[in-house]
């Protein structure tokens, strides 16, 4: 026959012990009930009462008693696989109490402990009765159902647990049962008080379930005079601070509100008992006094560490002077949160692993009719060339009858504006798009095609639901933006995802095909020839050189451009240099005028006045160069496959320089000296740019999208 043990530590408990043991012996369970008493020096006849009820009695000296240590000893002495703990004044409310506790263990294999509610004794004050009812209504749907509690180990679950641990950790060994298998892993701790709260916490954090059973009721309560209540609460809350790190919030308004709330709860309870009108006044005055004492005890108790030892002893009902915070090594409540960033900007990468295929809906390859297209873009600043291209392509798609939406993917959560405000900015400072704009991906509902437009956006777009195709618009060889680093690894990862790509320039498409084995078509950027009108030699200032000096983007090789211009200036001190494009400022070892970020109309005017323009890009071909070409400004660019591929077989369209200061200076000088040759070059360049319209770019992108849709994965 299996055994269940009922264990009760006793010290002078004669007042209720007979009643308690009688109720225990009346329990109806399907196994043998062992009653185990550990007495620490009773002198009031408790031992005789225990023996009368056939309890197994162990006597220990009072000096050996501790709440945690003694209960561990009882677990060792007990024969049962489950040990129900009671205190000497907690009487099982009915003969099914023990069966209910055992039923709690049957709820799951991992149940470490079961606890039940306490009913106040009939002579308890209304505050105690009301408080106990409220307290145990916190579990099991208002205290009516079996409630299996476990720690949710997700980050959100841990956060909620840290916010309010008591809801999960509460365990009272006035009335609970512990599974031996759980106790063997998580024994009671040798703490002066609140050993049960600590056990509850450790069980939950160790992954055990804890069960509330509404039928496992006992009758138990304490009533004290007001000052003793204050001291009792001081003890209780000091322990909660020691064990759970809990601090009672306080402040004049907060505490007033808390006391008012507690008195209000008592008032509702009294009304439910039938009290009305003036009958309520007296009890509520008593409630007010009680709860003020309670709040004082809890506020001071949870800050007991700041009190002198003598005062702690004086305030404690049990005369304890110590304050010993108990830390569980590796415990969830002790973790130092000082450096935790809940909005860590790289979570989106971490969550993208393990690698998984691109999520697309199966479809039959129908590519006719207008499409719905969702563009996912990184945050922008006004003047961003990459975003200008994206929004122009959005507009091009809209003009062809496709419907678009734009979704910001802001990894750093830095964007503070609404979708409506973002849309207004795009329409005012970039392109008058019709698309709706969202500040995040929360309300993404699907589309024919979702387009990632930058390596970061490739991560969320891969998993977006309800899309027929996923496409990656690659304007730059982005892994090259970074030195060998996490970012370079992650930017490369976007090429491992299996996207179908639309690259800016044949050069970029070629890289995607040959180096990364991706399917890639390409588009060529258009230029606003209306804004960047062609101007001939007339009106140009001799010796005026403009340089795109956006040092914020390292791929622009601004230092190299400035080094070349410094050499040119050394050779020809009369040249004047105007730098633009940087909002951080530009400095150089020669006189230079920095005009910062300027709107297109002002830049067009500058391009029409200058004699030479310098614009470098190491990872793609620059749209700024095309705008200079459209304006008839002779351009110096760095030699490279990216430039050669973009400019194609159209002959000399720009002056190419090697990647050295003297070569750059030489190119500038050639253009300044040979104005006739420069003018001929600019005419060719203008014709080249005129062929590359945004309509053409739109056609190229649309053709690629339709092609991909016609060939399902």
Partner 1 sequence: MTTGPSSPDDGAALREAIEERNRLWEELQRKNAVEADLEYWRQRASDIERSRWWRAGFPLRYVKRFVKDPAGMLEGRADAIRRRRRGA
The Cα 481–Cα 496 span in angstroms is 17
Closest to partner 1 by CB, 496 or 711 = 711
372 binds partner 1 (CB under 8 A): yes
Question: For every residue of 518-571, which 3-state class applies, written as one string?
Answer: CEEEEECCCCCCCCCCCCCCCCCCCCEEEEECCCCCHHHCHHHHHHHHHHHHHH
| Alpha helices, DSSP H, located in 87-214 | 97-105, 126-136, 140-143, 155-163, 166-169, 180-185, 195-205
User: Which pairs with CB-CB distance under 8 Å and at least 24 residues apart come from 103-110?
Assistant: 103/146, 103/213, 103/215, 104/146, 104/177, 104/211, 104/212, 104/213, 104/216, 105/177, 105/179, 105/211, 107/146, 107/148, 107/209, 107/211, 108/148, 108/209, 108/211, 110/150, 110/207, 110/208, 110/209
Work out whether 370 is an interface residue with partner 1 (CB under 8 A). Answer: yes
Does 366 bind partner 1 (CB under 8 A)? Our answer is: yes
The gap from C-alpha 384 to its chain's centroid, in whole angstroms, comes to: 29
What's the min distance (Å) between Cβ of 596 and partner 1?
31
For partner 1, which is the closer residue by CB, 86 or 406?
406
Residue 439 contacts residue 459 (beta carbons within 8 Å): no
- The answer to the question of residue 97 lying near partner 1 (CB under 8 A) is no
703 in helix, strand or coil?
A: helix
Distance of alpha carbon 590 from alpha carbon 572, whole angstroms: 11
Q: What is d(CA 628, CA 599) in angstroms, rounded to the nearest whole number?
A: 14
Site string for partner 1, 262-281 (x = CB under 8 A): ------x-------------
Contact with partner 1 (CB under 8 A): which of 438, 504, 522, 708? Answer: 438
- Cα angle for residues 154, 156, 157 (degrees, 5° grid): 65
Residue 442 in contact with partner 1, rule: CB under 8 A: yes
Per CB under 8 A, the segment of 59-67, 140-148, 415-423, 520-528 that binds partner 1 is 415-423
- The piece of 430-438, 533-541, 565-573, 654-662 that touches partner 1 (CB under 8 A) is 430-438
Question: In the beta sheet, which residues pair with residue 418?
Answer: none
Q: Cβ closer to partner 1: 273 or 486?
A: 273
Q: Which is nearer to partner 1, 75 or 397 (CB)?
A: 397
368 touches partner 1 by CB under 8 A? yes
Q: Compute the distance between CA of residue 130 and CA of residue 266 in angstroms, rounded to an integer.
A: 6
Part in contact with partner 1 (CB under 8 A); list of ranges 222-230, 335-343, 365-373, 679-687: 365-373
Show the tokens assigned to 559: 């230092």
DSSP state string for 473-498: EE-S-GGGGSSSSHHHHHHHHTTSS-
Rule CB under 8 A: say whether 257 interacts with partner 1. Answer: no
What is the rounded radius of gyration, in angstroms, for the C-alpha atoms of the chain? 39
Token duo for residue 351:
């969550």
Question: Is 365 a binder of partner 1 (CB under 8 A)?
Answer: yes
Structure tokens, 658: 């090697």
The reply to whether 419 sits near partner 1 by the rule CB under 8 A is: yes
CB of 375 to partner 1, least distance (A): 12
With beta carbons less than 8 A apart as the criterion, state whether 248 and 304 touch. no
In the complex, the smallest distance separating the C-beta of residue 163 from partner 1, rounded to whole angstroms, is 17
367 scored as a contact of partner 1 (CB under 8 A) = yes
Looking at the Cβ atoms of 79 and 713, the one nearer to partner 1 is 713
If binding is defined by CB under 8 A, does position 163 make contact with partner 1?
no
- Stretches 155-163, 303-311, 360-368, 652-660: which one binds partner 1 (CB under 8 A)? 360-368
The helix or strand, by DSSP H or E, that contains position 281, with its residue range, turns out to be helix 281-301
Contact by Cβ (8 Å): 39, 73: no
Interatomic CA distance for residues 424 and 382, integer angstroms:
12
Cβ 137 to partner 1, closest distance in Å?
19
CA dist 472 to 99, 456, 461, 498, 701, Å?
63, 11, 9, 9, 11
CA dist 614 and 102 (Å) reads: 83
**Would residue 182 be called left, alpha or beta, if left means φ above 0 and alpha means ψ between -120 and 50 degrees?**
alpha
**Strand 218-219 to 91-92 pairing:** antiparallel
Measured from the CB atom, the residue of 118 and 402 that comes closer to partner 1 is: 402
Q: What is the DSSP string of 305-345?
A: GGS-HHHHHHH-TT----------TT-SSS---TT--TT-T
Q: What is the bridge-based pairing of β-strands 447-452 and 467-474? A: parallel
Contact (CB, 8 A) for 498 and 512:
no
Q: Which of 186, 447, 449, 588 binds partner 1 (CB under 8 A)?
A: 447
- How near is the Cβ of 46 to partner 1 at its closest, in Å? 47
Query: Which is it for strands 467-474 and 436-438: parallel, antiparallel or unpaired?
Result: unpaired
420 belongs to the binding site for partner 1 (CB under 8 A): yes
Alpha-carbon gap, residue 25 to 40, rounded angstroms: 23
Q: Which is nearer to partner 1, 61 or 365 (CB)?
A: 365
CB of 154 to partner 1, least distance (A): 23
Smallest gap from Cβ 213 to partner 1, in A, equals 33
The one segment of 322-330, 443-451, 468-476, 667-675 that binds partner 1 by CB under 8 A: 443-451
Which positions from 2 to 41 touch partner 1 by CB under 8 A, shown as an x/- string? ----------------------------------------
Nearer to partner 1, 341 or 442 (CB): 442
User: Could you tell me which of 52, 70, 53, 71 has the C-alpha nearest to residue 61?
Assistant: 70
Choices 6-14, 61-69, 186-194, 435-443; region in contact with partner 1 by CB under 8 A: 435-443
Contacting residue, 90, 437, 606, 647, with partner 1 by CB under 8 A: 437
* Residue 396 near partner 1 by CB under 8 A: no
Q: How far is the CB of 416 from partner 1 (least distance, A)?
A: 9
Nearer to partner 1, 241 or 395 (CB): 395
- Rounded to the nearest angstrom, the gap between the alpha carbon of residue 404 and the centroid of all alpha carbons in its chain is 29
Q: Which of 5, 302, 388, 405 binds partner 1 (CB under 8 A)?
A: 405
Considering only 94, 135, 400, 403, the residue that binds partner 1 (CB under 8 A) is 403
Question: Is the Cβ of residue 138 or residue 445 nearer to partner 1 in the bound state?
Answer: 445
> Which one, 437 or 568, has the nearer CB to partner 1?
437
Query: How near is the Cβ of 35 to partner 1 at its closest, in Å?
Result: 47
Going by C-beta distance under 8 Å and a sequence separation of 6 or more, which residues neighbour residue 172? 115, 118, 196
Q: Which is nearer to partner 1, 252 or 329 (CB)?
A: 252
- Residue span binding partner 1 (CB under 8 A) among the ranges 126-134, 150-158, 163-171, 417-425: 417-425
Instruction: Figure out which of the listed residues 274, 364, 414, 574 binds partner 1, where binding follows CB under 8 A.
Output: 364
**Which tokens sit at 460?**
């969320």
Torsion angle of the four alpha carbons 446, 449, 454, 460, in this order, in degrees rounded to the nearest 10 = 30
Minimum gap (Å) between residue 366 Cβ and partner 1? 6
Select the residue interacting with partner 1 from 355, 443, 571, 687 (CB under 8 A). 443
The residue count for binding partner 1 (CB under 8 A) is 29
Tell me whether residue 142 or residue 401 sits nearer to partner 1 (CB atom): 401
Stretch that binds partner 1, among 161-169, 243-251, 369-377, 471-479 (CB under 8 A): 369-377
Q: Please pick, from the candidates 61, 122, 252, 369, the single residue that binds partner 1 as defined by CB under 8 A.
A: 369
Nearest distance, CB of residue 441 and partner 1, angstroms: 11
What residues contact 667, with CB distance under 8 A and at least 6 apart?
A: 564, 636, 655, 656, 657
445 near partner 1, judged by CB under 8 A: yes
- Which residue ranges make up the site for partner 1 (CB under 8 A)? 268, 364-372, 402-403, 405, 418-420, 435-440, 442-443, 445, 447, 710-712
């Amino acid at each position: 026959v299996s055994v269940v043990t009922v264990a009760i530590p006793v010290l002078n408990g004669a007042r209720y012990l007979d009643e308690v043991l009688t109720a225990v012996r009346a329990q109806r369970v399907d196994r043998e009930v062992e009653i185990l008493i550990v007495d620490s020096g009773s002198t009031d006849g408790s031992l005789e009462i225990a023996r009368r009820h056939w309890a197994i009695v162990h006597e220990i000296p009072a000096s050996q008693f501790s709440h945690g240590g003694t209960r561990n000893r009882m677990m060792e002495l007990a024969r049962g696989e489950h040990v129900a703990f009671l205190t000497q004044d907690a009487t099982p409310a009915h003969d099914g109490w023990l069966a209910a506790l055992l039923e709690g263990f049957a709820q799951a294999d991992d149940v470490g402990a079961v606890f039940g509610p306490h009913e106040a004794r009939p002579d308890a004050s209304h505050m105690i009765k009301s408080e106990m009812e409220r307290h145990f209504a916190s579990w099991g749907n208002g205290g009516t159902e079996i409630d299996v509690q476990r720690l949710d180990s997700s980050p959100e679950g841990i956060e909620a647990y840290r916010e309010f641990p008591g809801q999960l950790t509460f365990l009272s060994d006035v009335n609970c049962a512990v599974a031996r298998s759980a106790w063997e892993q998580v024994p009671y701790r040798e703490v002066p008080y609140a050993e049960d709260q600590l056990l509850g916490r450790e069980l939950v954090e160790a992954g055990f379930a804890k069960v509330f059973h509404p039928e496992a009721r006992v009758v138990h309560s304490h009533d004290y005079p007001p000052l003793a209540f204050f001291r009792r609460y001081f003890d209780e809350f000091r322990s909660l601070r020691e064990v759970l790190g809990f601090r009672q919030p306080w402040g004049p308004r907060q505490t007033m509100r808390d006391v008012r709330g507690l008195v209000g709860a008592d008032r509702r309870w009294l009304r439910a008992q039938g009290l009305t009108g003036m009958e309520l006044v007296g009890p509520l005055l008593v409630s007010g006094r009680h709860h003020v004492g309670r709040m004082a005890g809890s506020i001071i108790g949870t800050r007991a560490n700041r009190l002198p030892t003598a005062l702690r002893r004086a305030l404690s009902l049990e005369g304890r002077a110590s304050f010993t915070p108990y830390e569980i090594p590796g415990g969830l409540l002790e973790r130092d949160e000082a450096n935790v960033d809940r909005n860590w900007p790289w979570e989106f990468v971490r969550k993208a692993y393990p690698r998984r295929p691109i999520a697309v809906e199966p479809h039959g390859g129908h590519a006719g009719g207008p499409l719905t297209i969702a563009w996912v873009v990184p945050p922008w600043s006004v003047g961003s060339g990459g975003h200008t291209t994206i929004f122009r392509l959005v507009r091009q798609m809209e003009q062809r009858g496709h419907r678009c939406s734009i979704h910001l993917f802001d990894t750093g959560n830095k964007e503070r504006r609404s979708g409506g405000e973002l849309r207004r900015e795009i329409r005012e400072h970039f392109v008058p798009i019709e698309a709706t704009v969202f500040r995040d991906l929360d309300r993404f509902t699907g589309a024919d095609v979702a387009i990632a437009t930058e390596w970061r956006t490739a991560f969320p777009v891969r998993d977006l639901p309800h899309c027929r195709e996923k496409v990656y618009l690659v304007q730059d060889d982005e892994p090259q933006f970074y030195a060998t680093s996490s970012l370079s690894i992650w930017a490369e990862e976007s090429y491992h995802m299996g996207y179908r790509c639309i690259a800016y320039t044949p050069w970029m498409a070629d890289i995607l095909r040959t180096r990364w084995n991706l399917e890639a078509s390409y588009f060529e950027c258009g230029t606003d020839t209306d804004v960047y009108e062609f101007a001939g030699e007339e009106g140009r200032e001799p010796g005026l050189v403009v340089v795109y000096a956006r040092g914020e983007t390292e791929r622009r090789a601004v230092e190299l451009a400035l080094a070349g211009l410094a050499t040119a200036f050394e050779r020809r001190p009369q040249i004047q240099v105007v730098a633009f494009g940087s909002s951080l400022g530009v400095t150089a070892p020669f006189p230079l005028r920095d005009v910062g970020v300027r709107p297109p109309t002002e830049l067009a005017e500058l391009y029409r006045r200058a004699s030479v323009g310098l614009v470098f890009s190491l990872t793609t071909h620059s749209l700024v160069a095309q705008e200079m070409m459209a304006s008839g400004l002779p351009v110096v660019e760095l030699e490279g496959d990216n430039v050669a591929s973009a400019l194609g077989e159209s002959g000399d369209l720009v002056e190419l320089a090697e990647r050295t200061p003297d070569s750059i200076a030489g190119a500038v000088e050639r253009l300044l000296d040979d104005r006739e040759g420069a003018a001929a070059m600019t005419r060719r360049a203008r014709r080249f740019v005129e062929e590359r319209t945004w309509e053409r770019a739109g056609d190229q992108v649309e053709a690629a999208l339709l092609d991909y849709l016609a060939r399902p994965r």
